[in-house]
Chains A and B, each alone.
Chain A
Amino acid sequence: MTTAIAPDMSAVPLRYSAPIGGVAGTSFKPEHLQAILGANQRRGFFEVHAENYMGAGGPPHRALEAIRRDHPLSLHGVCMSIGGPQPLDKAHLARFRGLVARYQPALVSEHLAWSTHETSFFNDLLPLPYTAATLRNVCDHIDQVQDAIRRPLLLENPSTYIAFRESSMSETDFIRTVAERTGCGLLLDINNVFVSATNHGFSALDYLADFPLARVGEIHLAGHAEQADDEGDLLLIDSHDGPVADAVWKLYEIVVRRRGGVPTLIEWDSKIPDWPVLQAEAAAAQAILDRCRPVGLTGDRHAA
């Protein structure tokens, strides 16, 4: 009866976008729209938080359509609560599928975390213990997401501040097993690795050596903030509010040498800088991607 313009996305077929290879991209922030469209620059991709585009219409969709016209898109879910014990929110999953159908993103990712318990949504990426029970639960949830979107999901490793007494396996063992059982890909957030390594006192290099790099389909780089724990020792906060730290750049270069070119995102979600600042961070990542050639790991070099 109403003359709605937006079609019903549940009926739109799901299609893949072409793979994007060793390209650096940035978070898309609406305040940068005019600068991006005016720059006429085509290399690179943009990532958005899926939930920000789950409204029915209005300016957010117009902005995303304008960006998507000329650039590959990465759709990054933040609220699916894949790591939580309760069943996935079916309505939310349908909205997620609708966005994948509408925008045909090159990359689709979610977090190894939870954010909803009972009826409350906590708007944070909360941690989970690594046990046989949580492993089965996470695999079930990823199966459901992948069934809905008909493509592999990239699962992101978390940054954490606490550990669970009941955990019975390492994070890398947990993530590797999830990927093997579900066929999902992985989003390796190197800042998260650095933050967690500092907070829990393990070696970031050991973690990366143990991480199934061949399954990594995207890398995240971001800035972090510094606080102190109860003992007065350094506690890093995954704040996404500043430039990538030198130590994280070094880890990134090591990963790219081993893994080869992988789409790499500069994540910047608060205290958003002017577009040229974000663009310069992406250019720094692109320089590493262009400079570093993978050694060994043949068969991983399909990234252009």
Chain B
Amino acid sequence: MPPEPDLGFAAAFAPALLDPVRLAPEIVTGPNGKAPGKRYDVYRNNVTVSLIDALAAIYPAVQRITGIDFFRAMARFHVRQTPPISPLLFDYGRDFPAFIAQYEHAQMMPWLADVARIERAWLDAYHAADAVPVSPAQLAAVAPERLGDLVLIPHPAAGIVRSQFAAVTIFAANRDTSPVGRIDAASPEDALVTRAEFDVVVRHLPPGGAAVASSLMSGRPLGEAAARALDAAADFDLASNITGLIEAGAFTSIAFGDV
């Protein structure tokens, strides 16, 4: 009896899928002695193109900014270097913003990686668990002396992206097809991403707002968050900021003390 064939086919088949320099694997063939080259290339093409398409679907504003050819060339490098590790494609591309930040040909767009971070947060909010946000009335009902110990439980869809550039304005201007005017990219902008019910909304946080929101979302009490915000921006309006976060649907419930 000859030795039973093992299950090594995948290890032989896979390496050339994302490496255009390699030849088709020895283990495959066309029918009747035909060459495997262009036949194997169908798989190679399916893999590469579908993964580039997946990145284009996750990062439409980045693609609109760079143009399709630039985007697909950049995405192709990333796909080959960092293929997905999950079969859920809406989870793919988490490393793409960092790739963009160091991508040689994107250096003249230093804000591009932050726009990508907002798009990644947008998709996370889109697929996040549904939950009912806490209402401003629930917060208003809290006795003033307890506010310092108040802890807010973050909504599953809520996220913050901080940027040294005008990433929120650039993101918003490039998520649809209307013309984009001149944007002062050098003005720092932090984003709050939420989905209270159906629609994902990206808001531009005021100075100091990201510090307080991050502190609250990591479970720190309101008193501590307020102190951090005042460090970041001396004229910070705590009451209107907290109300804004609540109205945006950033939290699902109120608790007290360490949670």
Is residue A117 contacting chain B, with contact meaning CB distance below 8 A? yes
Is residue B36 contacting chain A, with contact meaning CB distance below 8 A? yes
Taking CB atoms, residues of chain B closer than 8 Å to A60 are 127
Bound Cα distance from A131 to B3, whole angstroms: 12
Known: A133-B5, A162-B30. A120 touches B83 (CB 8 A): yes
Closest residue of chain A to B198 (Cβ to Cβ) is A59
Q: How many residues on chain A are close to B (CB under 8 Å)?
A: 63
Do B50 and A121 touch (CB < 8 A)? no
Contact partner of B9 (CB less than 8 A), chosen from A118, A123, A128, A229, is: A128
Bound Cα distance from A92 to B38, whole angstroms: 32
Is residue A57 contacting chain B, with contact meaning CB distance below 8 A? yes
Those of A31-59 within 8 Å (CB) of chain B: 51-52, 54-59
Known: A51-B89, A119-B85. A229 touches B130 (CB 8 A): no
Do B50 and A235 touch (CB < 8 A)? no
Taking CB atoms, residues of chain A closer than 8 Å to B155 are 2
Those of B151-204 within 8 Å (CB) of chain A: 153, 155-157, 195, 198
Is residue B232 contacting chain A, with contact meaning CB distance below 8 A? no
Taking CB atoms, residues of chain B closer than 8 Å to A119 are 85
Contact partner of A229 (CB less than 8 A), chosen from B30, B125, B156, is: B30
Nearest CB on B from A58, distance (A): 5
Known: A59-B126, A85-B9, A120-B85. A199 touches B39 (CB 8 A): yes
Q: Is the interface on chain B under 10, 10 to 19, 20 to 34, or 35 or more residues?
A: 35 or more
Bound Cα distance from A137 to B31, whole angstroms: 25
Nearest CB on A from B116, distance (A): 20
Bound Cα distance from A79 to B90, whole angstroms: 13
Contact partner of A166 (CB less than 8 A), chosen from B27, B126, B153, is: B27
Most chain B CB within a 10 A radius of its CB, from A1, A124, A162, A228: A162
Flag the segment in B11-19, B70-78, B101-109 that touches A.
B11-19
Q: How many A-B residue pairs have CB under 8 A?
A: 185
Taking CB atoms, residues of chain A closer than 8 Å to B51 are 123
Taking CB atoms, residues of chain A closer than 8 Å to B239 are none
Do A57 and B128 touch (CB < 8 A)? yes
Taking CB atoms, residues of chain B closer than 8 Å to A59 are 126, 198
Known: A114-B10, A115-B87, A165-B28. A228 touches B38 (CB 8 A): yes
Taking CB atoms, residues of chain B closer than 8 Å to A131 are 4-5
Taking CB atoms, residues of chain A closer than 8 Å to B24 are 162
Taking CB atoms, residues of chain B closer than 8 Å to A124 are 17, 43, 46-47, 50
Is residue A163 contacting chain B, with contact meaning CB distance below 8 A? yes
Known: A58-B127, A231-B35, A237-B42. A134 touches B87 (CB 8 A): no
Nearest CB on B from A304, distance (A): 35
Taking CB atoms, residues of chain B closer than 8 Å to A133 are 4-7
Is residue A230 contacting chain B, with contact meaning CB distance below 8 A? yes
Do A4 and B156 touch (CB < 8 A)? yes
Bound Cα distance from A135 to B138, whole angstroms: 60
Contact partner of A79 (CB less than 8 A), chosen from B43, B54, B87, B128, is: B87
Is residue B84 contacting chain A, with contact meaning CB distance below 8 A? yes
Do A231 and B84 touch (CB < 8 A)? no
Taking CB atoms, residues of chain A closer than 8 Å to B11 are 85, 117
Taking CB atoms, residues of chain A closer than 8 Å to B141 are none
Those of A170-189 within 8 Å (CB) of chain B: none
Between-chain CB contacts (< 8 Å), 22 pairs:
A1-B153, A2-B153, A6-B130, A56-B128, A56-B129, A56-B130, A57-B128, A57-B131, A57-B156, A58-B195, A85-B8, A86-B10, A89-B87, A124-B47, A126-B10, A126-B14, A129-B5, A129-B9, A132-B5, A133-B6, A137-B7, A229-B39
With A126-B43, A128-B9 given, name 16 new contacts (CB 8 A): A2-B155, A2-B252, A5-B131, A55-B126, A56-B127, A56-B129, A58-B125, A123-B54, A123-B87, A124-B46, A128-B10, A132-B4, A134-B9, A162-B39, A163-B30, A165-B29
4 nearest interchain CB pairs? Answer: A55-B127, A79-B87, A85-B7, A57-B130
